[in-house]
C-alpha cells in the first residue's frame, strides 16, 4: 500500500515534467524554467508542486490571477495512477505515450519522433508481438485510407503498431476497442455539454483514447475479443 502511494506521488512529479515536455515539444523555447502562460512570470517553488499547487492556488496564477489549465493536474494525476498500477518495465513507453497524448490533444497530430521512439521501446520492453503490431497498424491504416485521412490520422496507425508490439494481441485489440468506446462516449458528452453547436466534424484527437485504452487493457489484463481462446 505504502509503495503504491509513493509510486503515485513519484508519478505526479514525473507527470508535471511530462506536461512541460509535451507542451514544449517542437517549440523554439524548449529549455528554461516554467512560466505562467498568461503573465510570463517565472514560477516559484511553491507554484510547481504537482496537483497541490493547483488546489491551493485555486486554479489561478498567484500573481496575474489568470486561470491555470486543468490539463496540468489532470496529466499529473493520470501519470501518478499509471505509475502506481503499471509494471515498471512498461513505464518508459507509457511516459512517451503521455507526451504523445498531450501533444495530440493540443495539436491534433502525433510527432514521428515520439511515436517511433515508442515503437522502439515497445520492441525492447513489450510483448514483441510483431503480428499484433502489424494487424493494428493495418487496421488503422485502412481506416485512414478509406476516410482519406478524415476519420483518423496516419499517426494513429503508427501508435497502433506501438500498442500491438507492447501489449500483444489480447490486450492490444482490447485497447483499441476501449479507445473507440471512450472516444464515442467523450464525443457524445462533448456535443451535449459544449457551449457552441459543435458537430462531429470538429476534429477530435484519438491518441488520448488509445493511450487510456492501452493503460486499462494492460492493468486489467483485458481480452475483449477472446483472442486467447483461439
Footprint on this chain of Zn ion (rule: CB under 5 A): 36, 38-39, 61, 64
CA–CA separation, 173 vs 227, rounded Å? 9
Is the separation of the CB atoms in 119 and 162 below 8 Å? yes
> Smaller CB distance to Zn ion: residue 35 or 128?
35
The number of C-alpha atoms within 13 Å of 5 and in the hemisphere containing its C-beta is 2
> Smaller CB distance to Zn ion: residue 43 or 123?
43
Report the phi/psi class of residue 33: left, alpha or beta, with left for phi > 0 and alpha for psi in -120 to 50: beta
Query: Least distance from C-beta 52 to Zn ion, angstroms?
Result: 18
Query: Least distance from C-beta 51 to Zn ion, angstroms?
Result: 19
Query: Least distance from C-beta 117 to Zn ion, angstroms?
Result: 33
Alpha helices (H) along 58-153: 71-85, 91-107, 112-125, 130-146
Query: Least distance from C-beta 102 to Zn ion, angstroms?
Result: 21
Is the separation of the CB atoms in 123 and 79 below 8 Å? no
> Smaller CB distance to Zn ion: residue 68 or 152?
68
> Smaller CB distance to Zn ion: residue 38 or 186?
38
Residue keyed to cell 462516449: 185
> Smaller CB distance to Zn ion: residue 42 or 113?
42
Is the separation of the CB atoms in 61 and 70 below 8 Å? no
Query: Least distance from C-beta 141 to Zn ion, angstroms?
Result: 43
- DSSP state, 229? G
Cell of 180: 473507440
Amino acid at each position: 500500500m505504502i509503495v503504491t502511494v509513493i509510486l503515485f506521488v513519484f508519478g505526479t512529479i514525473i507527470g508535471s515534467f511530462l506536461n512541460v515536455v509535451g507542451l514544449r515539444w517542437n517549440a523554439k523555447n524548449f529549455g528554461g524554467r516554467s512560466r505562467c502562460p498568461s503573465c510570463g512570470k517565472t514560477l516559484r517553488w511553491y507554484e510547481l508542486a504537482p496537483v497541490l499547487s493547483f488546489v491551493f492556488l485555486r486554479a489561478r496564477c498567484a500573481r496575474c490571477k489568470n486561470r491555470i489549465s486543468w490539463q496540468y493536474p489532470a496529466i499529473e494525476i493520470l501519470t501518478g495512477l499509471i505509475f502506481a498500477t503499471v509494471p515498471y518495465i512498461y513505464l518508459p513507453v507509457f511516459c512517451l505515450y503521455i507526451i504523445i497524448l498531450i501533444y495530440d490533444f493540443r495539436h491534433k497530430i502525433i510527432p514521428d519522433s515520439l511515436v517511433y521512439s515508442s515503437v522502439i521501446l515497445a520492441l525492447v520492453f513489450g510483448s514483441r508481438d510483431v503480428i499484433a503490431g502489424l494487424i493494428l497498424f493495418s487496421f488503422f491504416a485502412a481506416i485512414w485510407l478509406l476516410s482519406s485521412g478524415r476519420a483518423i490520422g496516419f499517426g494513429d496507425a503508427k501508435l497502433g503498431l506501438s500498442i500491438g508490439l507492447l501489449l500483444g494481441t489480447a490486450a492490444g485489440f482490447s485497447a483499441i476497442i476501449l479507445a473507440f468506446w471512450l472516444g464515442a462516449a467523450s464525443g457524445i458528452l462533448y456535443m451535449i455539454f459544449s457551449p457552441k453547436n459543435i458537430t462531429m466534424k470538429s476534429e477530435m484527437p484519438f491518441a488520448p483514447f488509445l493511450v487510456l485504452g492501452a493503460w486499462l487493457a494492460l492493468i486489467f489484463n483485458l481480452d475483449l475479443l477472446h483472442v486467447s481462446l483461439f
